[in-house]
Chain A
Amino acid sequence: MNIARIPYILLTLSGFFILQEGFINRINFFIGGFSLYLVFVIAWTLQEEPSNAMLIGFFAGFIADFSPTLESPFGLWTLILTGFCYFLATTVRGNLDPQLSPLQMTLVTASSSAVLLLLFILIGAILGQELSSISILISEVIGNTLWSFVLAPIYIPLTIKFYQFSLTARER
């Protein structure tokens, strides 16, 4: 990754993290919640090379671990997002067309957000994190997937714009 991109990526991720923590977490979504931050990271990663995706996952996870409402150990999101973004960029991205259709992007992003949340719950439980009731966890995961699917027409073009803006002239 071009070093010049890193400050922009960090700034963008921090901006979305603030948006998520300050605004989106306050909205009552009726069913579960919606993590714009996660789907933004996933959608961005889908555009990147594996090494870049991995780094972006690491930065995104590190920033996500700052969330004051988290009760999980610091570094859990870093671990999960680093590994998952690498997996997305290599396995998922590699098995699909280079130019993802909007529907593919939507499906991959929505399902990935569900997998990420499940991984977070699972690994968190292994590390001794207290869990809510099963019904609440299920409603959170389903709600998040649903909203990720429904709101895809808004956040996917936005993510692509941010991604393209982060590229250097040579990379474009």
Chain B
Amino acid sequence: MTTKRTNRTRLLLVSLLVTSLFLITLDLRGLSVVSSLRTAAQSALTPFQSLSTAILSPISNFLDNLSGLRSAQNRVAELERENQELRNTNILNENVVGELKQLKGVLDLAGRAKYKTISARVIGKGGTATIGETIIIDKGSASGISTDMTVISENGLVGVVKSVSNSASIIMLMSDPNFRLGVRVAGSQLMGILSGEGGDNFSLQMLSASSDLSVGDVLLSRGSSGDKPFVPGVPVGRVSFVENSLGQLTKKAKVEPYVDFNSLGVVSVVLESIAGDPGDALVPKAPRPAPTITVFVTPTPNE
């Protein structure tokens, strides 16, 4: 009985295996029915696959995000670091561009006046609470700088060298309350004394009460004996207000400086004035007004 059953099982096994091999043979011979069976199966499975996509996608995305969280955090940190470096580089580039512009301007000014100069970078600023309004430059006696030398920028007079070390110098700015400078009105020989009052306030006291001074007049440095502390002809500022008080011995005015003391990056120290007084050669050119465009419209009469 058992043997008979075993034989039947073996016969069934052989039959099933032969059937399998028959199916494989059919497929390998390229019977189209077999491939169409799989295509039909795919069609039947499509709704289930769509359903699974709808159900599993949020979970799968969540798991993917979870597994990629650490690498994403690292990436964010890396990008932030890169961004900061780029910002720093950009700031540095902007500074360099600004300094180059200032350097070009100051060299241009010194060239026109035939001053022998040495350019320096502003490396620090002193406040009014220290020793007055000062800046520190990165050149000193090693570069030929000594005290009482004139310091200029692209727009005009900055101040005077107050003290010098081997590799740095302290410059007293024109805006310092202790600053006094002999000036001359460009185009004339009218003279006065300019005083710093802190910040952007300057007062001018003319030597003569009858001086013909008006708003907009350009002031130039008058120069000192041996060009120290001031070389002649450097633009200082423009008269912004004239006091017309009767009975005064001298005429007073307010002056607007050419130099913006808050944006000094590069300055030049005048070592020597080769050609002497440049006269009015350094007077800044007045900005040319923009041309006005006039449009004429001729109305067409209604017929």
Contacts and interface: CB of A to CB of B under 8 A. Distances in A.
B64 to A, nearest CB: 7
A23 B24 contact: no
Contact of A26 (B9, B34, B37, B60): B60
A75 to B, nearest CB: 3
Interface residues of B, number: 35
A27 interface: yes
Interface of B: 5, 8-9, 12-13, 16-17, 19-28, 34, 37-39, 41-42, 45, 48-49, 51-53, 55-56, 60, 63-64, 67
A75 B42 contact: no
Contacts of A86: 13
Interface in A125-145: 127-128
Contacts of B23: 62, 65, 73-75, 78
A18 interface: yes
B24 A75 contact: yes
A127 B29 CA distance: 12
A61 interface: yes
B17 A79 contact: yes
Nearest to A66: B41
Given A18-B45, A54-B13, A70-B38, A79 B24 contact: yes
A83 B19 CA distance: 12
Given A51-B5, A76-B24, 19 more contacts: A22-B45, A22-B52, A26-B49, A27-B56, A28-B60, A54-B9, A54-B13, A55-B12, A58-B16, A61-B20, A67-B38, A67-B41, A73-B23, A74-B38, A75-B25, A76-B20, A82-B13, A82-B20, A127-B24
A7 interface: no
A119 B28 CA distance: 19
